[in-house]
Structure 1
Amino acid sequence: MSEAAEADALVIGGGIVGAACAHELARRGLRVRVLDNASGGATGAGMGHLVAMDDNAAELALSHYSIGLWNHLRARLPPSCAYRNCGTLWLAADAAEMDLARAKQAALAQQGVAGELLGSATLAELEPMLRGGLGGALKIPGDGILYAPAAAHWLLHDNPLIRCERASVRAVAAQRVALDDGRVLRAEYVVLANGLAARELLPQLPLRAKKGHLLITDRYPPQVSHQLVELGYAASAHASDGTSVAFNVQPRPTGQLLIGSSRQFDTLDPAIEPAVLQPMLQRAVAYLPRLAQLNGIRAWTGFRAASPDSLPLLGQHPREKGLWLAVGHEGLGVTTAPGSGRLLTDLMLGERPDIDARPYRPERFPGLCAPLTGTAP
């Protein structure tokens, strides 16, 4: 059974990336139909940080561009989105690590991201909960946090041109989507933006699951003012094998502290693993000793969808004209969602993006040039 086109674009996935794509398409005047199976995903499991990351130039370009777009939206975000411009402190464990802070400051400055080097005494004044003896920090005042599920919901309901539908997608192809209930939907544009689940529809996608653990504390009077991250976080975030942990603590507007982070490969078991959670918390306590006195009320896991080069796939499928990809954001989906939606929409409408789109092109992975399997009729 086939349906006539009721929308200009079909977006598969109602998480933060799919929502941002739908929002941008509707902003340009397109009728958008969002299909989501409500099974949950990375949006509800992540930390919700908005952070300029500089592991490579393309990552920094997209994250910095996206934070600028979040800044344009933030005055309209409802209180439920819990947006806070708290900034990030990249912590140097000792004086020697301040060289890493200086290098990071220089790399960020090349993209126009302002940063301030802080000595150990100034750092202790700003964040007295930190242990003594740290070498200092790099402060990035433009970074922030938000509650991603609420932000995705707002993006999906901010424009009447967006229609959301709970549906399970069986197959995709150029300009058509097959649903489990037998319907085939058609539209000029089909956007695949459902994270790791996209592999079930396009097995050729070079996406790999990265499992992560998080823990949140009970509510307390504010004790931390900035997002706190160790300078070694980027190495952990982009590790290609094994299990790794890094210190990352985020103050929530509720007075809670959200504690991360960990990364594991080659598992889809959602169970909380003490062998991973324990060293993650031990690392956090090493930076914030008083964390050991706080009550942790909930721990959970989630799965990031990572590409081999840690950059998202943004663009038209090499073989299926009319099928567009917005997947592979790993741990930066919340940060880069608006930039991904804007860049993808520019490409779809034949306009020139504000940043270079070439590093994110799907065709950089040869496996996507093979014929599709399981496509929609």
Structure 2
Amino acid sequence: MTTPIHAAPPAGSPEGAGPAALLSVRDLTMAFPGRRSATGRRGAPVRAVDGVSFDLAAGETLGLVGESGCGKSTTGRMLVRLLEPTSGSVVFDGRDVTRLSQRALRPLRRDVQMVFQDPHSSLNPRQTVSRIISDPLLVQGWSAADARRRAAELMELVGLIPEHIDRYPHEFSGGQAQRIGIARSLATGPRLIVADEPVSALDVSVQAQIVNLMERLREELGLSYVFIAHDLSVVKRVSDRVAVMYLGRIVEIGAKRDLYDTPQHPYTRALLSAVPLPDPAAERRRERIVLLGDPPSPAAPPPGCSFHPRCPKAQEVCRTERPLLRIAASREVACHFPGD
């Protein structure tokens, strides 16, 4: 029988982010009200995000991955205050975003922007590209002429033709529409961009173009990203560190190379085993880990480790004691029995 880990929890930030982290998230929780039954009784609250903590350094990209419904998009929306957290804190550049009034939050929105998953549904079909990109500048007090000039510059920066500035979103392809969304997010000169599955709705060839664009913008403008995705190949391409979420919690977080080469959590290993390899011979040789059953409901999570009903390594302690993030093999893992 393997001995469970009982090392002291790490003091301070994960590797790659120090005390002066640009973004510091602590115990972030989001509980949605339960549905009402036919008798009018309210069901148990749905804990979509349950105690998420991480740091992000300036100029760093953190990939946030997991199955659909694990809470990664909800986490992203709380980072920019599109959703109000139930509890926890989001500290950006020394200021707790969750405690700011709407008036105090407005200047901060210049520094934190978001790119959405579906490029067409996130753009107003009744507005021209010029208005879509320049709107954030008009809100910040720019003149209409200066905002239009800046919108044309941003179109060129993201690889679009400035002469198309008076066209409408439906006149662009999906990849072009996503470039418009990226240009809009850059309008106010942000330092942090939360990208919520920015390439999942695009063709594979277009995905590569958008990923390369975001990498180039990061280098040229000194941006930091929280990159949310379910495609681990894309996350590996863009990220410095990766956080794996399951049922609203981070179960493993660490440097990209360490996590991909030697995953410690059983769930991480299962996710990585599902990523196809470009070498057919290697693909046939490797072991594929198939998880049984569906993820539990966040309205009624299992006791102990939330992954234990599907985990091939589960033991009695997993069913009764919730594992906390602890240092294991140069990263943090929420597992009683990390490793092989």
TM-score (norm 2): 0.27
Higher relative contact order (CA 8 A, sep 6+): 1
**Whose strand proportion is higher, 1 or 2?**
1
TM-score (norm 1): 0.25
